[in-house]
Chain A
Amino acid sequence: MLFFEYALLGAFAVTIVSELCVALIFFSNRPDVSRAFLIAAVIVANAFTHPLFVAFAYHIYEVPYVVVEIAVFCVEAIMYRILLGCSWGTVVCFSVIANSISICIGYMVRVLL
């Protein structure tokens, strides 16, 4: 596996794992959201946004990073709202926290490696 492939897929894995952990903690007191459904929703949301984020931010259109990040928050929040049926406040809060933590963990992994 070439370097960039390793880096790209590794980053995707880190994002999925970190956001899943955050989701399981964040929605632990919500009996109306089943764990299996929550895990599936997080994977689907990230599988949709991650490749597009990479493409838009860096590889095809070179849209400014912050703009793409905001778009990712919005898209993921909408997806969670539709799938989980929670309030807008809850899904936006979750989206911000989960994404913030995933990028911090990604940075730490990068530094440690």
Chain B
Amino acid sequence: MYFVLRFCYMKKTMLGVLGVISVLVALGGITSVARADDSAPNTLYWMKDDTKVTCVSFDLSEVPNNYFLVFDYDVETGISRGKPWTVVAEGKCYQVLDETAKLYAVEAQSGDELEQFSNYNAYAPSQSVRDTFCSPVRSDERIDFNGTAPCYSEMKIQEVVLPFTEQLGVTFVDSLFKTHIYINELFPTKYTFGAGVTQFVASFGTLQQKLSEDYIFIEAKGLHESLALELSNALHKCDMRVRTEYKSLPTYTEWRGSNPDVPNAGIAINSNIVVWRLSDNADYTIGRDFRTLDSETLVDKMGCSETYHAFLRAHQSDFSRLDELGSELRSKYFDEGKLIDYFVAPRVVPDSTLHDTTVIQPAEASYTESMPHITLEEVYAQAQATAKPVEYRTELDEPTPAQKQKYITGSTNTALQIYILLPLFALLGFGLLFWTRNRR
């Protein structure tokens, strides 16, 4: 149970506790089912797994002293913790349930901003920083340089884009609940499928229209999606991750807006490190700015190498069929030139230098060796070099028992100081009542 619930449920009784827990578990189960149903088969994304924790932590060393950061929980997390947001502290990792969680940088101007944000009991847990402190944004309002709406407030509050949030209209690089594993890197096919299969695109004009009605493309898309979904489900079962952490470095930057004589300044996040915590409590750095390890290595680190190779062996004929379909499509739409590459392209694998890329000609590709230019030993050596345990560990923002004890015993609140001494007073009262009763 969370800190707040612990305080507020307080006493007692197993029946009550079990009843409440049963209701929560039932609600959780229903919610999970609903979410699963909402997830359409998709080859780019992995379905959200509610058993894994996704959180974001912040290295505050680059944040000036006159700024503090406020992590605005998504509504569900806010309600469960009993507070709508929290002032960011070093060494804490803030859990994210969906992409509505926000980060704000607040400049301490009058001196009481921190107190206002820290006075959590003055706000409902479902409130948000924007609704509480910012004036409503007009529909014709400009968007900040970082893609967020400005916050007009008596205080200087600026929304900071979190590392995992995505911007519409931009090719997806990564997403919040992804494993950072790409289907195209795991399928040992001669061709990779892009727009319409593994990437979302708004429109690719007439060719997209033609392909959407082409039975060859429809078959390839369907086969690709069903294989991706099967692999995704298989990997869920062997996934040893318990937590994915986005370690971020917020920095103070200055930029010039429309008026070059009036420089603006604020906090931006310019570097991220993604860390997986596995079930054996080992941390692995997956990448700075999202990824440095290839998908097959990540599958191995996840604990799914055996499952993955069994999947490959079981679907060799399907991959052959995908290649046939890819070859047919490229021949059929040869006249479209480079445009067809957006939909079906010859596989590109990293060169042994790990910097350049090499296009594998379809005739040279082999199902038995999906990465012909890098040996397995080299892949493992690369993994060893990059996937080192992280030295600085963070904990979820649940207060530790020691912190809680310090909160209570170190409080300057008179009422709480009396509360601490209550058992002693109660013993005296008990003796007095017992004496009174015996006298009657």
List residues of chain B with CB within 8 A of the CB of A65: 1, 17
Q: Identify which of A47, A66, A79 contacts B422 (C-beta below 8 A).
A: A47
List residues of chain B with CB within 8 A of the CB of A12: 10, 419
Task: Indicate if the CB atoms of A48 and B11 lie closer than 8 Å.
Answer: no
Query: Is B15 located at the chain interface by the 8 A CB criterion?
Result: yes
Report the bound CA distance from A46 to B15 in whole Å: 19
Q: Taking CB as reference atom, which chain B residue is nearest A108?
A: B20
**Tally of contacts, chain A with chain B, CB under 8 A:** 161
Q: How far is the CB of A108 from chain B (nearest CB, A)?
A: 10
List residues of chain B with CB within 8 A of the CB of A96: 13, 15
Query: Is B28 located at the chain interface by the 8 A CB criterion?
Result: no
User: What's the tally of chain A residues with a CB closer than 8 Å to chain B?
Assistant: 57
Q: Identify which of B6, B8, B83 contacts A10 (C-beta below 8 A).
A: B8
Report the bound CA distance from A47 to B118 in whole Å: 29
Q: Identify which of A41, A45, A69 contacts B13 (C-beta below 8 A).
A: A69
Query: Is A24 located at the chain interface by the 8 A CB criterion?
Result: no
List residues of chain B with CB within 8 A of the CB of A49: 11
Task: Indicate if the CB atoms of B437 and A83 lie closer than 8 Å.
Answer: yes
List residues of chain A with CB within 8 A of the CB of B404: 4, 58-59
Name B46-98 residues within 8 Å CB distance of A. Answer: 82-83
List residues of chain B with CB within 8 A of the CB of A104: 16, 19-20
Q: Identify which of A9, A79, A83, A99 contacts B11 (C-beta below 8 A).
A: A99
List residues of chain B with CB within 8 A of the CB of A47: 422-423, 425-426, 429
Q: How far is the CB of A85 from chain B (nearest CB, A)?
A: 7
Chain B 101-145 interface 0/1 with A at a Cβ cutoff of 8 Å (1 = within):
000000000000000001111001100000000000000000000
Could you list 19 A-B pairs, sorted by A, with CB under 8 Å? A2-B407, A3-B83, A5-B413, A7-B8, A8-B7, A47-B426, A48-B426, A48-B430, A50-B11, A59-B404, A69-B11, A70-B14, A83-B434, A85-B437, A99-B13, A100-B15, A102-B12, A103-B16, A103-B20
Which residues does B use to contact A, with CB under 8 Å? Answer: 1, 3-17, 19-20, 82-83, 118-121, 124-125, 401, 404-405, 407-408, 411, 413, 415-416, 419-420, 422-423, 425-427, 429-430, 433-434, 436-437
